[in-house]
Structure formats: C-alpha cells, structure tokens
Chain A
Amino acid sequence: MITKIAIETIQLLIVGLGAPLLVGLVRRVKARLQGRRGAGVLQPYADLRKLLAKEAVVSETTSWIFRFTPYLLVATMLLSALLVPLLTTRTPLGFLGNIIVLMYLFLLGTFFLALAGLDAGSAFGGMGSSREMAVAALAEPTVMIAIFAMALRVGNTELDEIVRRGATDSLLLLTPGHLLAFLAFFIVALAETGRLPVDNPATHLELTMIHEAMVLEYSGRYLMLIEWAAGMKLLIFLALLSNLFFPWGVALTVTPAAVAVACVALVLKVGALAVGIAMLETAVAKLRLFRLPALLSGSFALALLAVVSFLFVK
C-alpha cells in the first residue's frame, strides 16, 4: 500500500513539478538554437509563482465556467498523471482506465477550455475555441487508429500492459508498424499540446493563435493554472510517447532501485523528446490553419499504415 502511494506521489510530483521544467527546457533549447541565451530552464517556475501572487482580472461577461475551467484542467491533468505508467508497469491507479480514458480526460479539459474561450465574448476567444476544437476533432481519429495499431501489436489497450509488452520485446524498433504509429502519435501530440507547426505557443498575433487565443482573458492564478496544466499536458504526452514506444528503463517490478532507474530513464527520454520538439519548432514554420487537415490526415495515414502493417505481419 505504501509503495503504491509512494509511486503515485512520485508520479504526481514528476508531472506537477516537472512540467514547468520541461517547458523551460524546450524554451531554453529553442533560444539556444536561435542564437540567444534565453531564460533559464527554471524560468517557468518564476512565471508561475509570479502569476500566483497577482490579482485576477476577470471579464464581467464571463460566468462560472470561466473560473471553473482552470481548476478542471489541472484536475484532469493530475488525474492523468495518476493513471499513466510513468515509472512502472504496475501503476497503482492504472485500473482507473485505459488509454482511451486518458484521451477522453484530455478532451474533457479541451471541451471546457473551449467553453471558457467563448465565455468572455471576445472575438479572439471564440476564434481560439473554434480552432482548438477543430484541431482536437481532427486529431482524434489518428489517436484512436494509433491505439488500434498498438492493440493489434500487443492485444491490449491497457497502458501498463502496452508498456510491459513493449519492454519485453527486443525487436520493437525494427517493427515498421511500431515506428509508423510512433510518428502518427507524435504528430498528434504536437497538435494536442499546441506546438509548431500546428500552433505557435510564442505568438503575439491574435489572428494566428489557437491555444493562446482562448486564454487571452485569463490572468493571475487562473492563468497560472492554465499554463501549468498546459505544461503537464506536454509532459504527459511526451512521457506517453517515450514509454509506449520506447519503454526502456521502465520498472517491471516495483523496487526502489528499479523506480530510481525508471526516473532517470524517463527524464532522459522526455528530455530527448523535448530537445527534438525544440529543434523541430526552430526548423519549421507554423502551418496555415487550413493546411492543418493535410498534416493531420497525413498522420492519420501513417497510423492506418501502421494498422495495415500489423495486419500483414500477423
């Protein structure tokens, strides 16, 4: 029991506390790639702390939805953190739900965030909501097909189980379907977490915004919660990507040593992915909104190819 609580606590801490670090890392690497020094990797912590100290200006037009959403977002992310196998393949709360539950938890957050975007009645918020929902909806088939591909590979949709089977499969990286599914899932992760080329998290131009446009109205602690949640989402997605597709180092048995190794492995894998994202973001431009379907259908095609390859390999 204590081990279980310990593991879940570690997971919560990794996600909750690691999220700003991850964001900082991506920004730092990006700055470096742009020839800047950039803020330190710990800058996001400072940002969040500062936001907590500020008052919140809330539009008179808004309703309780606007104020409720940040809390819900954080709650869904923390809940996700509890059921994702970050360290071991025996996540204590894994019984809460499988990967589909996870995706729907994300969707729940997106749903409310989009509502919040509409709540203030500003044109930007509405625009952001509309775009965010469009991207989310279009990404959904890829997610599910990628999951189907995984289910074909391991015969299961339980996160723990997928990781476990992967960890014991030495030829994993040589499976074309696996790599295709990874690529598809990676693109989806970019779309879901609002990274380039889908969305530019650093943009100042309202008309090009997606995620940012929805949160333009937030300030103070609400903004802090939302940024934090966004960071957590990125972390969870990257952790998922690394553990589902590269399940090296994940603890198959729950011993302190194994967990410690898993922690280190996770940090390394996520870090590598973060660097990858930063490099990608430096190299590519944001796509026009109406070019996005091409990207997402491309990822869908990849996922479908993965399915096909598994069908034929079987």
Chain B
Amino acid sequence: MVAELFPKLVTLLSFTVLGAAFLLIVRRDLAGQVRLFAVQSLTLAVLAAVIAAFTRSIELAGVAAALALLKVVVIPRVLTRAVAKIGLQPAALPYLGTPATLVVCGGLVTIAFYVMAPVAASNPLPTAEAIPIAFAGVLIGFFVMINRRRALTQILGFLMLENSIFLLALLATYGVPFIVEMGVFLDVLVAVLIMEVFIYRIKENFDSIEVDRLGRLKG
C-alpha cells in the first residue's frame, strides 16, 4: 500500500513544484513571486520529509527540516525585506509575453522528458518517474532568468532552479550526502545574501533593479 502510494505521492508533489515554477512565469508582482517560492520550497520540504519517512533516513529528515527553515522561512524573509526596501517599481515587461513563454516552457518540458528519459529508465528507485519533472523545473527556472528583466526575479528564478536541482537529487538518489547538502545550503544562503546586497547597490547606482541597465561592459 505504502509502496504503491509513495511513487504517486512523490510524482504529485513534484508536479506541484513544477506548477509553482509555471506560476512564477505568470506572476508579475514581486511579493507574490516570493510567496510562490516559499510555497514551492515548502512542497519540496514535504516531499523530502515523505521520502525521509519512506526510507527511514534521519539524515534526510534533517535535510528536510533545514530546507524548510532555510527556504521557507529565512530566504523568503530576506527577499520580502528586499522587496520592501526597493519599494514600488514599474513592472518591466519580460522579453517574451506570457503566452509565448508558456509555449516555450511546454517545449522545455518536452526537452526535459526527452533528455532525462534514459536516466529515469535506468533508475531502480520508485521515485525515478518524476526525474524529468525535476529537470523541467531546472530548465524553467533557467528560462525565467533569461526572460525576466528584474534582478530580483532573476534571483527567484535561480532559487527555483536550485530547488529543482534539489528535487532532482532527491528523486534520483534520495539526496546527496548530508554534509554536501549542508554545504549547498550554506552556499545558497550566502549567495542570496550577497545578491540582496547587490540588489541594493544596483538600486543605489542605477535607480532601478532592471538588469538591462547593466549594459556598460561590452566587447
């Protein structure tokens, strides 16, 4: 029963993660995007906890807890603070409009399934089915970074990409060893903090957080 339920649950939660990523494409306001990220992270933490329960891995449970703490609480806080500090900004349009973006993302999902099919096929783990979904998340996060003009959204894209990679690792191998995972979390945290500082400085220097303004260094 559990063995049957488990892969379904995992796939469902994975889809939720991917869905959050899709929503990020649609959402325009920064605060909403941050909340979306928190939701995605929470789903991910739940998924980690489920797998931890299924595999009875204490380490993974610890990772789930750390993830929840870091990405559901700390990082959204930091980002919300940043959003507040930046204040209201006219939302710049992305390069591609929403409909086009959705089409592209559909394509990306296809690519993800195509690329990751052999990995999924060769994997004996029950979670393997969802691996392409995780990779699709990676690609969509990547695409958001390419398509969106504001620095903060780029950071959110990056964080979602990061989440998807975590998901990928989780699905493929039930997560990487604990110490590595902790190291990764540390890196992510520091990265977000540095990015926050940079966002402030960009605002200061360029009066906007549109990345397009950063175009002096050419050739």
- Asked if A and B form a direct contact in the complex, defined as CB atoms under 8 angstroms apart, the reply is no
Which residues of A approach B to under 8 Å, CB–CB? none
Which residues of B approach A to under 8 Å, CB–CB? none
